[in-house]
Structure 1
Amino acid sequence: MGISLDGLASGLDTTALIGSIMQSEALPQTLLKNKSYDIQSMVSALQGLNSKVAALATQATAAAKPGALNLYSATTSSTNVVATTTAGAAAGSIDFQVTRLAQTQVTLSNNVVGWPYTTMTINSGGQSFTITPLTSNLDDVVTAVNAAGAGVVASKVAVGGGEYRLQFAATKSGSAGAFSISDPGTTFTDAKLAQDAELQLWAGTTSQVAVTSSTNTFTDVLPGVSITAKDLTTSTATLTVSRDDAGITKVASDLVDGVNGIFALVSSKSAVSTSTNIGGTTTSAGLFTGDSTVRTVNQNILSAASLPVGTPPRSPSEIGISITKTGTMEFDATKFGAALAADAAGTAAKVQELAGRIASAATAASDKYTGTLTTKITGQQSEVRDLADRISDWDTRLASRKATLQSTYSGLEVALSNMKAQQSWLTAQLGGLSTGSNSA
């Protein structure tokens, strides 16, 4: 525990005095700390912007890929059948009827209590599997079958009176999962036969063709189109594939929203705010205010989204994508839909051209190695590290200065104390001399 010498001889509050001196001498370090805080705030804001620009680059790149807007939707006239599309779908239609659903084979043993301690044989998928249970216990039989990899799952089912049946179910549906099973002394009954689903194309005509599937899903009935049957159809149904205007519109609308998200963030971080307090009115500039890098990124994306497209070049406003007076983008779904109806291929091509330009501008800004925003962030992070080193140096310097001041003032107090003691001694001596002279 330190000893305070405050005012022992001088009457001064040396601790407060040293604190005042140190506060003054620490001013350069305080300025460095404030600068570091400001730069770190800017780095955080730039990182947020960079993340949004990178997301826009990914979104726009996907929209610009060949075939990205070749979107089609499929429907059927039957509620018992669901249609889905994948890449490569094209407009078309076909009549069909679901005449059979897929089944998974289920085979049952007769009622048993235990199992004859013999060898069981399962034929499945063109292979023969010999299974020997560890004991006649039914649980051991189930374990042995399930471990054999024979494409069959066994279960023990209680049927009352202390008796059980073993159920054997194929692991694959349809004829692909068909199996046979035998064991001396045990009989087996098929509760469900292995069965493929069947689809009749051009049902009811002389061109009718049967198509089968081991599941209830038929892939590529039309290019890029699959249908899944939930039940049989009682009559002929129609599969229709048409251009997905809603999906294409959403891609274009989402692209405009992505661009506006960048503009909104830049605008919010560039806004100048004022606040009023007792001392008057204070004006504060946003973090991005006057920043040339951010301004360039914003302008490049705006140009990419608003400059003419197509051959000959035409304004994107003709397909419902326009720039507003405030410098943001606007999407008119009605106008876009009309353009799509009039020229689907041309409209999609213009959207993809815009997407390609936006992807290039956003990638140039956010690339993790060469992006302009990335480079600026890296430079400012380096400056923060440099400031941290300088602040640390000031800690050492100020600690040394404080120790010096404490030593100086402590020495002063000791010196003053000694002088006071000497003064008291001299005063006493002089007093003694005076008394002796008077006595004589």
Structure 2
Amino acid sequence: MTSAINFLGTYSGIDQTSIDKLMEAERIPLTKLTDKKTTITNKQNAWKDINTRLNSLFEKLKVLQDASTFTAKKSTSTDDNIVSMTANSKAIAGSYKINVSSLATATNVIGGKVLEEGQKISDELHLNGTIKLTNHEGIEIEIQIEDSDSLKTITNKINLSTKTTGISSSIIDGRIILSDVKTGNRNIEVSGTLVEDLKLGTDKEVNYGTNAKFTVNGIEVERSTNEITDVIENITINLKKTHQNSSEYETINIVNDNDKVVSAIKDFVDQYNSTMQFIEEKFSSGNPEVANSRGVLAGDSSLQMLHSTLRRMVTSPIQNPNTSIRDISQLGISTTDKSGVLKFDQEKLLDSLNQNAENVINFFSTDLDGEKKGFVPKLNNYIDSYISKSNGVVKNKTESFERSLKDINRQIEIFNTRMEKKQEYYTNMFSKLDTAMMQAEDQMNWLTAQLGAFSTSK
């Protein structure tokens, strides 16, 4: 099969390069559409970034609305390796002297040696029957032993029931060891047809668990566990080692964890400054002498409104009868200059917390006439008007951008189709022109030849 020979431009001088230049001129409107699409996409992405930053600011503020941020407690012990405490937010700050005379231990049953010399724990014992375990509460479980079971599989069967019985099993020196998962003086009973074969009957040794004994500020206490939750309200005491004598003790202080408040305030200030700086970059009118300095959202009134309102709301006073604090500067947060960047003086905050923590809590958030009022609800209600997934400003703008992009994509698709047809038209038209010029040249040559022949005949 022979391919068609393309004579485009042979006679007219208008070749493919000429057509490409014509099409380049025809595609100028497409460049404008593409540029418009890029601009809208950049604006859409900028608003998405703003939404992310506002959402982060929203979450940082919520931490300041949570009372547990301000009421968290921490403990310090003179020796955490002997005794420590953990306290919840409701615990009362105080100091405690603790002496530990004994720790709680668990009951364990040590069976006699089952394996003979040379036997392995995985060897079959060729036993058929049952053993029955009964815990301190009277809960019992019967375990079926089969001919193919080894010492290892028997202990595995016991451990499969640990969640039910609270009794675990291990193997030491060819013996079955049964241990209560709970500490204190508790019973473990073993019975069944194979109790003697497994050396858990007359051959067993029982070590009963003991209770923990300690003193708190001189008061003697005894408990069945080393983790005690019912001696000091809202405080857990963790016993780890015993003291050498009764005169020794560890001092544990329960204090307010103001570090948590300081960290929360720092996080808010940092996120606020970062968010506001990002917004300023996006709506900046730029420097005419500096290329690409104009922000992608320059002139966007919604963004300018967001920036100015947030800046005003952060520093403006609040009206709240439940606190004497009127604005955030009283807690060490203030603007550094006309730019509105926030700075944080934590000592001022700590002074306010030490004087009246409730006063600080109520400034950030308090219940007033059945509604949340204060610094955090005020800001977050406004931020939510932008980031709300149902009717927020960002959502509405994003949908508008998507509609515009959809329309531009449709225009680009139509334009490209038209350009394909246009190129076909130019190619066909100039091909016909070349053909016509070739035919005209042939006719001219024929006519010239005829005239030459006529002149010769004379």
Q: TM-score, normalised by structure 2?
A: 0.82
Shift of 1:36: 0.7
Aligned to 1:118: 129
Of the structure 1 ranges 396-405 and 369-378, higher mean CA displacement relative to structure 2 is found in 369-378
CA distance in 1, matches of 2:392, 2:345: 32
Secondary structure of the corresponding residue to residue 145 of structure 2: coil
Q: Work out which of the residue numbers 265, 280, 283 in structure 2 matches 1:252.
A: 265
- 1:140 corresponding residue in structure 2: 153
SS of structure 2 residue aligned to 1:228 = strand
The whole-number CA distance in structure 2 between the counterparts of 1:22 and 1:197 is 92
Q: Deviations over 1:185-233 (max 9, x none)?
A: 3434457544454444443x5xx443443xx322364343223222224
Query: What is the DSSP-based 3-state SS (H/G/I as helix, E as strand, rest coil) of the residue aligned with 1:370?
Result: coil
| Cross-structure match for 2:400 | 379
| Deviation of the 1:345 alpha carbon | 2.5
Task: From the superposition, tell whether residues 28 and 436 of structure 1 become closer, same or farther in structure 2 (CA, over 3 Å).
Answer: same
- For residues 278-316 of structure 1, the C-alpha deviation after alignment (integer angstroms, 9 at most, x for no partner) is xxx646301232221112222222222111135567342
Give the direction of change, closer, same or farther, for the CA distance of 1:422–1:186 in structure 2 (3 Å limit): same
Aligned residues of 1:366 and 1:373 also touching (Cα < 8 A): yes
Q: Which residue of 2 aligns with 1:298?
A: 307
Which of 179, 187, 193 lines up with 2:199 in the alignment?
Answer: 187
Mapped to 2, the partners of 1:37 and 1:314 lie a distance apart of 46
Task: State how far apart, in whole Å, the 1-side matches of 2:317 and 2:98 are.
Answer: 47
Within the alignment, does 1:63 sit opposite 2:73 as a pair?
Answer: no
- One-letter code of the match for 1:296? M
Number of equivalent positions: 421
State the 1:25 CA deviation: 1.5
Aligned with residue 237 of structure 2, among 207, 220, 227: 227
Alpha-carbon spacing, 1:285–1:429, altered in 2? closer, same or farther (3 Å): same
The aligned amino acid for 1:219 is T
Show structure 1 runs of 5+ residues with no match.
none
Which moved further from structure 2: 378-387 or 227-236?
227-236
- Take 2:185 and 2:25, find their aligned partners in 1: how far apart are those partners? 87
Answer yes or no: is the 8 Å Cα contact 2:111–2:175 preserved in 1: yes
Counterpart code for 1:408: M
Residue of structure 2 in register with 1:165 after alignment: 175
Task: Please state how far the C-alpha of 1:391 moved relative to its aligned partner.
Answer: 1.1
Q: Is 1:347 paired with 2:349? A: no
Distance in 1 (CA, whole Å) between partners of 2:61 and 2:54 is: 10
Matched, 1:401 2:422: yes
Choose which of 293, 308, 312 in structure 2 pairs with 1:284: 293
The whole-number CA distance in structure 2 between the counterparts of 1:3 and 1:370 is 63
**Using a 3 Å threshold, how does the CA distance of structure 1 residues 74 and 175 change in structure 2: closer, same or farther?**
same
Give a deviation string over 1:109-164, Cα, whole Å, max 9, x none: 2222264433212112422222122225323323432344543333344x3xxxx2
Q: How much has 1:422 moved relative to structure 2?
A: 1.7
C-alpha distance in 2, partners of 1:91/1:168? 42
Deviation at 1:359, TM superposition (A): 1.9
**Within 2, Cα distance between the matches of 1:220 and 1:268?**
57
Change (3 A) 1:46 1:96: same
Aligned residue among 93, 101, 104 for 2:103: 101
- After TM superposition, give the deviation of residue 31 of structure 1 in Å: 0.7
Say yes or no: does 1:210 pair with 2:222.
Answer: yes
Matched residue, 2:371: none
CA contact (8 A) 1:96 1:238 kept: yes
Corresponding residue to 2:93 among 87, 91, 94: 91
Question: Residues of 2 paired with 1:324 and 1:131: CA distance?
Answer: 74
Residue identity (%): 21
Secondary structure at the counterpart of residue 173 of structure 1:
strand
- The verdict on how the C-alpha distance between 1:275 and 1:99 changes in structure 2, with shifts beyond 3 A counting, is farther
- Normalization by structure 1: what TM-score? 0.85
- Which one-letter code corresponds to 2:274 in the other structure? G
